[in-house]
Amino acid sequence: MIMIDGSNYEEYLVRYADGELNAAEENALLAFIAANPHLEGEMELFRQAHLVPDETVTYTNKRLLMKNEPKKSGWLPVILKSGNMRYAAIAASVALVIIGFAVWKHDQGYQSSNIRKEVLASRPSVDTPKADKVLVNPQVANTAITNQHDSFEKIPTLNKHNHNISSSSSVRIAKTRSIRKSVIAKDFFTENSNNNSQNAGNNQTTSVYRVANIEKVKPSEMHLAPAVDSFRIAPATLAREMPPAVKAIPVWDEQEFSLMDQIRTRVQLLSQTVASGVSRFRDKVDNKEISIRF
């Protein structure tokens, strides 16, 4: 039981003004004041006897009290710890993965080309008596070229009338490794020519086709047989006849080329996005729109 009377009411008034009374004490005091209304003025005076801080008074030497924080400079921590730059880093990682995939795909294309060459080279060669010289019908040969998608080169015509080569004359070509590959291709045309020769009714053709784009054949590797009658092909001519191209063509279909174009376009867009994001972030840092804390 809280007893408030004339001997202690001021203490309760002070504690009430300071907010230090509990609920029971407050109720008891308010009841006492209600019973003694002439004390309300005194309660108001105690309430007014409180100081209010002057906010205009400030301490002006705060900078002297502050300590230097360890500096963390450099763009790397800024990039790694910035929320915006996290996305840029992720985008850059994705771009690297895409580029790596593109390079891998490109290499795979070259490997496929090489495998194809090896398969051609590993096929058993068919040595036919007339395999050294291939006489085909140009129309048939052209058709075969179109169907097989291989690259062949038409070499200058060896016309017997112009060069005095008899129909039985042949240019024996030594079976070097390079030539063996060409022989394989020759077989195909030989067959075609044989199949069509009867229809053509003429074994003597005016054009000779030779496999190209397989390997470079050096003129020194070409050996002219002594059976050549009254005609020798100058080494320079042979060099001109043999295609110097060694370049292997990647075996990519249209779908792969289309995919590569899409990848290239997306990588370019991604790099532009990353660059613009970094530029905007640096501008904001320079303009102090973004504060970086570590």
Single out the residue of 45, 96, 249, 275 in contact with other proteins (rule: CB under 8 A): 45
What are the C-alpha distances in Å from 139 to residues 132, 143, 189, 202?
Answer: 21, 6, 11, 13
Measured distance CA(159)–CA(20) in Å, rounded: 125
Asked if 26 interacts with other proteins (CB under 8 A), we say no
- 204 and 135 in contact (C-beta within 8 Å)? yes
Q: Which stretch binds other proteins (CB under 8 A): 42-50, 150-158, 175-183, 207-215?
A: 42-50
- Contact pattern for other proteins over residues 55 through 94, marking x by CB under 8 A: --xxx-xx-xxxxxxx------------------------
Single out the residue of 7, 37, 48, 71 in contact with other proteins (rule: CB under 8 A): 48
- Contact pattern for other proteins over residues 101 through 140, marking x by CB under 8 A: ----------------------------------------
Closest CA to 21 of 46, 53, 58: 46
Asked if 17 interacts with other proteins (CB under 8 A), we say yes
Query: Can you list the alpha helix ranges (DSSP code H) found in the chain?
Result: 9-17, 23-35, 40-48, 62-65, 75-81, 83-122, 138-148, 160-163, 177-200, 235-241, 254-286
- 109 and 256 in contact (C-beta within 8 Å)? yes
Task: State the nearest-atom distance from the C-beta of 33 to other proteins, in Å.
Answer: 16
Task: Tell me which residues touch other proteins (CB under 8 A).
Answer: 10-11, 14-15, 17-18, 20, 42, 45-46, 48-54, 57-59, 61-62, 64-70
